[in-house]
Chain A
């Protein structure tokens, strides 16, 4: 069963803090793991992505950590800002087969 489980469902972080969102997957054939950010009224926008041959990838304030043996990956947002308040989705894909399998999303609120 292709499934990606995301937690927490909602998260409140103080400005300047670290936001952490976790995802776990079951299908070991997944080989591409992107994170998307979605604002109300907009489509999801690609934030950062990782492949299983890498344990960590950093782009600016956003870092993906990947644990292949545990079949888990997470998004860390450093120095969180009010403008980061959005819904975040993790996803996974198996090469050319099927489309992206998304987690259920995390509603992140950064309090000023």
Chain B
């Protein structure tokens, strides 16, 4: 099976712009989660989607949003970008969510200038 695929790999945006990141989960996986990784804060949970519904949400401002499509593919959007949003954004999928093993993609590296 192909792993979790994230596009694009790298992205450079200007402060105030918005950005959309894409994630294709492992075939058959219905849960998709997003995490932000920074040197200072480490890995932090953004949100989880299961069968097109947001099931859990981390402690991030409303500028961070996401959605999941009927084929389980997911997108994450960040509006009004700030310098502090520069990070590696990781998508992970699992078959059921809950405590099922989480499989990560290689991430999208977002740089905000």
Contacts and interface: CB of A to CB of B under 8 A. Distances in A.
B4 interface: yes
Q: Which range contains the number of B residues in contact with the other chain? A: 20 to 34
A43 B105 contact: yes
B22 to A, nearest CB: 15
Contacts, number: 58
Interface in A77-94: 89, 91, 93
Interface class of chain A by DSSP: strand
Given A98-B56, A99-B45, A103-B42, A43 B102 contact: no
A45 B101 CA distance: 10
B104 A104 contact: no
Nearest to B3: A43
Contact of A46 (B44, B47, B48, B101): B101
Interface of A: 31-32, 34, 36, 41-46, 49, 51, 89, 91, 93, 95-105
